[in-house]
């Protein structure tokens, strides 16, 4: 896990949400709320908060429906975890419709690429960048880490090219620059199919509020996304009073953590 990823998770630390609370199913459709960071395993999720493939993949496979709406508001996370989730989405027989409600950043964009169709709220953001890690050791070990990062970037670039139809050189340039796309720019670049409806001003503001993550771990995050984060709202999960008590406990726990 990279130092920046640890910072991203620490800045947005929140209570663990069981996978059942992320899913709503009715008739031949289901909705999954990916309103969290993507983490490698359940132990990490229980400490930092987040969704892991260990929980996501079996829950997805259990959905016997014709259409799945995957609603995305995620600051990203572990790239290998996201790839496991992507493969589960590709293999599911249902039609998967991605809805970027707030933010799809980093590894969350790979999730969006795995959907059959993706639409984006007018106030949402979409970000791609080169992969991160943390390394130590001798020259040969560091060179091996660099080679691995280049392979990961190549895999991600291939997925973005397949989704967007852009030249690989253009995609790689966007990744190197840590590029943040508005909904209009993401549609123009081919990463998403359309803007979701014609949002009124209050709906647009709500999309931005749902994307209120603390994204200071990224170099080029818009200024409005580098402030204190709020818990993303998962319908029916917890009362406002319950969330407030959890946030208080997490703030006390964070205050006791050692500073790197």
Alpha-carbon span 35 to 75, nearest angstrom:
9
CB within 8 A of 222, min separation 6: which ones? 125, 180
* Segments making up each domain of the chain, as ranges: 3-255
Element (H, E) at 29: strand 29-34
Strand, helix or coil for residue 227? coil
Q: What is the pLDDT of residue 206?
A: 45
| Average confidence (pLDDT) over 163-186 | 97
Topology of the domain comprising 3-255: 2-enoyl-CoA Hydratase; Chain A, domain 1 (3.90.226)
- Record the pTM: 0.81
Q: Are the beta carbons of 20 and 55 closer than 8 angstroms?
A: no
By DSSP bridging, strand 29-34 and strand 67-74 are parallel
Residue showing tokens 């994204």? 215
Higher pLDDT, residue 253 or 153: 153
Q: For 106, left (φ over 0), alpha (ψ -120 to 50), or beta?
A: left
């Amino acid at each position: 896990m990279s130092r920046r990823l640890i910072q991203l998770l620490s800045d947005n630390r929140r209570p663990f949400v069981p996978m059942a609370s992320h899913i709503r199913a009715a008739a031949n459709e289901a909705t999954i709320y990916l309103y969290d960071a993507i983490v490698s395993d359940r132990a990490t999720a229980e400490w930092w908060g987040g969704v892991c493939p260990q929980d996501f993949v079996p829950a997805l496979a259990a959905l016997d429906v014709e259409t799945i709406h995957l609603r995305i508001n995620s600051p990203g996370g572990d790239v290998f975890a996201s790839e496991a989730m992507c493969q589960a989405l590709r293999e599911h027989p249902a039609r998967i419709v991605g809805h970027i409600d707030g933010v799809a950043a980093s590894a969350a964009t790979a999730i969006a690429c795995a959907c059959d169709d993706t639409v984006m709220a007018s106030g949402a953001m979409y970000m791609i960048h080169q992969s991160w890690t943390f390394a130590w050791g001798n020259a040969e070990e560091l060179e091996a880490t660099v080679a691995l990062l280049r392979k990961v970037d190549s895999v991600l670039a291939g997925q973005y090219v397949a989704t967007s139809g852009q030249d690989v050189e253009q995609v790689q340039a966007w990744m190197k620059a840590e590029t943040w796309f508005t909904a209009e720019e993401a549609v123009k670049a081919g990463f998403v199919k359309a803007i979701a409806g014609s949002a009124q001003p209050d709906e647009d503001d709500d999309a931005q509020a749902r994307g209120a993550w603390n994204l200071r771990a990224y170099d080029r995050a818009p200024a409005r996304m580098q402030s204190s984060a709020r818990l993303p709202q998962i319908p029916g999960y917890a009362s406002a009073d319950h969330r407030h008590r959890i946030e208080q406990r997490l703030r006390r726990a964070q205050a006791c953590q050692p500073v790197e």
